[in-house]
């Protein structure tokens, strides 16, 4: 999480001071290009960048455009880029933003991958919401409906809560590298939304949803695994993890082999590492396309010839290393990881709400019963060291 530096208790008591905000301004009615404008605001260090912007707006220039409402990181309105990183202006502290700035001013810009309407306001409809609608974002329940509530495992509902926690702020969309290259990529937020239904036992169309998202060339296999969305998300939704779960469920539980060969490619990589410890480049294309004799393999190999030729010329590969692949020396240990993970009866999924943060490490802080607690109460519990930050996301 980019924006959740833990302020010290002293900071909360600290006096107001000056902060310089450097805002990206754009007035679509002026005919002028976007420009930077600086505002000096006077606030306590633990106040948010949003409060800074609102002070500038209230006291100096009411024309500064920014969407905002709740101020508490739940409505998802104030997604922006602060010092180049996406997040919510309302849960980024002025002091921590200042620490990250390069030149002593806090820069705030509109989010990326979406057209700017005015100042810090982007067109979410044109990108974010359009992509949401792409994933059929509503429950397609079993018929007939039960008379009372669906009876489903407790864990299943807790599990989808992580995807449900998405506040649609667009921070992950802003910095999605795949979307930068392929604007049609369905993207992290919408695919996390898709997981919310695929992971929901009440939804009757898991397989259809997964078929659809796997076979779309801009679907689940279009993600390059860059982790940007996980870093960007202010709510711990970890969109990329949800995309990887969609892939695992598609290929392992539903045997979906997509026409883009995304699933084969992924399996090929897994097999290679098991066999050799590293990727065998010469073998990767045939394995990803359905074998050496598959017509798609020939086609793909022909298409790759210029790349191969360049690689040979630049000595990135030699004919020998390309054709005879070496095993890594400690291949046994790699195999052992595979065997151990493969022997587990259930797939272990990393989910904030299910696996929770790491468990208590120090016995002194181990959970106590309420009775024990009550007995001791009389004074508030001694404050724990502030160094024990709460772990945020699994990665």
Cis peptide before 187 (omega within 30 of 0): no
Q: How far apart are CA 168 and CA 165, in angstroms?
A: 9
Paired tokens of 368: 């106590």
Half-sphere exposure of 211 (CA within 13 A, CB side): 5
If the CB atoms of residues 47 and 264 are measured against other proteins, the closer one turns out to be 47
If the CB atoms of residues 115 and 303 are measured against other proteins, the closer one turns out to be 115
If the CB atoms of residues 82 and 352 are measured against other proteins, the closer one turns out to be 352
- The dihedrals phi and psi of 160, each to the nearest 5 degrees, come to -75, -10
If the CB atoms of residues 86 and 286 are measured against other proteins, the closer one turns out to be 86
19 beta partners? 41
Rounded to a whole number, what is the largest CA-CA distance in the chain? 77
If the CB atoms of residues 201 and 290 are measured against other proteins, the closer one turns out to be 201
Q: Closest separation between CB of residue 160 and other proteins, Å?
A: 5
Q: Closest separation between CB of residue 182 and other proteins, Å?
A: 24
Q: How far apart are CA 97 and CA 193, in angstroms?
A: 30
Q: Closest separation between CB of residue 349 and other proteins, Å?
A: 15
Residue 373 gets the label, from left (phi > 0), alpha (psi -120 to 50) or beta, of: alpha
141 beta partners? 203
Paired tokens of 351: 């989910």
Return the DSSP state at 295. Answer: H
Q: Closest separation between CB of residue 152 and other proteins, Å?
A: 5
| Structural contact between residues 255 and 214, judged by C-beta atoms closer than 8 angstroms | no
| Structural contact between residues 68 and 87, judged by C-beta atoms closer than 8 angstroms | no
If the CB atoms of residues 130 and 274 are measured against other proteins, the closer one turns out to be 130
If the CB atoms of residues 255 and 366 are measured against other proteins, the closer one turns out to be 366
Q: Closest separation between CB of residue 126 and other proteins, Å?
A: 11
Q: Closest separation between CB of residue 36 and other proteins, Å?
A: 18
Half-sphere exposure of 156 (CA within 13 A, CB side): 11
Three-state secondary structure string covering 146-213: CCCCCCCCHHHHHHHHHHHCCCCCCHHHHCCHHHHHCCCCCCHHHHHHHHHHHCCCCECCHHHHHHHH
Q: What DSSP line would sit under 50-61, residue for residue?
A: HHHHHHHHHHT-
Q: Closest separation between CB of residue 327 and other proteins, Å?
A: 43
Q: Closest separation between CB of residue 133 and other proteins, Å?
A: 6
Q: Closest separation between CB of residue 62 and other proteins, Å?
A: 4
If the CB atoms of residues 152 and 312 are measured against other proteins, the closer one turns out to be 152
If the CB atoms of residues 9 and 299 are measured against other proteins, the closer one turns out to be 9
Q: Closest separation between CB of residue 109 and other proteins, Å?
A: 16
Whose CA is closest to 108, among 116, 122, 120?
Answer: 120
If the CB atoms of residues 70 and 181 are measured against other proteins, the closer one turns out to be 70
Paired tokens of 279: 């990727």
| Structural contact between residues 152 and 140, judged by C-beta atoms closer than 8 angstroms | no
Q: How far apart are CA 358 and CA 72, in angstroms?
A: 25
């Amino acid at each position: 999480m980019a924006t959740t530096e833990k302020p010290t208790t002293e900071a909360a008591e600290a006096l107001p001071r000056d902060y310089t905000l450097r805002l990206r301004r754009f007035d679509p009615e002026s005919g002028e290009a976007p420009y930077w404008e600086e505002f000096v605001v006077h606030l306590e260090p633990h106040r948010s960048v949003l409060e800074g912007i609102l002070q500038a707006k209230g006291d100096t220039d009411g024309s500064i455009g920014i969407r905002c409402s709740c101020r508490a990181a739940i409505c998802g309105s104030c997604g922006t880029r602060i010092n180049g990183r996406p997040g919510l202006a309302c849960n980024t502290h002025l002091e921590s933003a200042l620490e990250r700035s390069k030149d002593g001013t806090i820069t705030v810009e509109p989010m990326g991958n979406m057209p700017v309407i005015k100042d810090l306001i982007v067109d979410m409809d044109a990108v974010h919401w359009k992509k949401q609608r792409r994933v059929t974002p509503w429950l397609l329940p079993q018929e007939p409906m039960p008379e009372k509530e669906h009876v489903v495992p407790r864990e299943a509902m807790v599990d989808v809560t992580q995807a449900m926690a998405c506040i649609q702020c667009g921070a992950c969309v802003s910095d999605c590298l795949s979307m930068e290259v392929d604007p049609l990529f369905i993207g992290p937020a919408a695919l996390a939304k898709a997981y919310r239904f695929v992971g929901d036992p009440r939804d009757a169309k898991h397989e259809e949803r997964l078929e659809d998202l796997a076979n779309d060339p801009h679907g689940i296999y279009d993600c390059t695994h860059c982790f940007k969305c996980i870093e960007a998300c202010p709510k711990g939704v970890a969109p990329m993890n949800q995309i990887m779960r969609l892939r695992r469920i598609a290929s392992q539980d539903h045997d979906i082999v997509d026409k883009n060969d995304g699933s084969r490619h992924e399996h090929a990589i897994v097999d290679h590492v098991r066999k050799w410890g590293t990727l065998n480049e010469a073998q990767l294309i045939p394995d990803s396309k359905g074998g050496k004799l598959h017509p798609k393999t020939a086609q793909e190999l022909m298409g790759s010839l210029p790349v191969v030729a360049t690689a040979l010329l630049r000595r990135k590969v030699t004919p020998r290393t390309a054709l005879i692949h070496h095993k890594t020396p400690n291949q046994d240990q790699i195999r052992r990881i595979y065997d151990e993970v493969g022997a587990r009866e259930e797939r272990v999924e990393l989910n904030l709400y299910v696996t929770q943060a790491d468990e208590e490490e120090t016995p002194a802080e181990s959970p106590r019963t309420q009775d024990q607690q009550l007995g001791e109460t009389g004074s508030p519990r001694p404050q724990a060291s502030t160094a024990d930050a709460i772990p945020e996301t699994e990665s």
